[in-house]
Structure 1
């Protein structure tokens, strides 16, 4: 989507998240993307089996970051779709 507008990831997120844009968090998202696609890193404990997560603060923190990531990415994607495909103003 960012390529179609010839802008980078951060500019894309800034454009479509508006007031919810956080530069530091978007940089974090970009590092996840780069780490995953270039070296296969997993950032959200995808392969870490731990059945006792009730008091695991690390798990809770990662889950919260994942939820926030999904929310912000979905919001930016929906905004892009509305503007470029549905073309609602």
Structure 2
């Protein structure tokens, strides 16, 4: 999904970042909700989260650094999700 189904405005990164539910993004232009197909999103989120958390916990012994790295991974994951939406791989 490259654009909003209602007003055809491009999806912005802030819309993806502000959405609490990754399968229901609100358009920043017209405030319409854009549903995303559930299964590919859930599989992608589950696999990336599982691998990221396991790697960080196994490799970083300090809690503060571990939390910072996990926060960075989460932010990078949101941006990657946005790129998949903009490219049209997720609908």
Q: TM-score range by the shorter chain?
A: 0.3 to 0.5
Taking structure 1 as the reference length, the TM-score comes to 0.37
Taking structure 2 as the reference length, the TM-score comes to 0.37
- Relative to total residues, which structure has the larger helix share, 1 or 2? 1
- Relative to total residues, which structure has the larger strand share, 1 or 2? 2
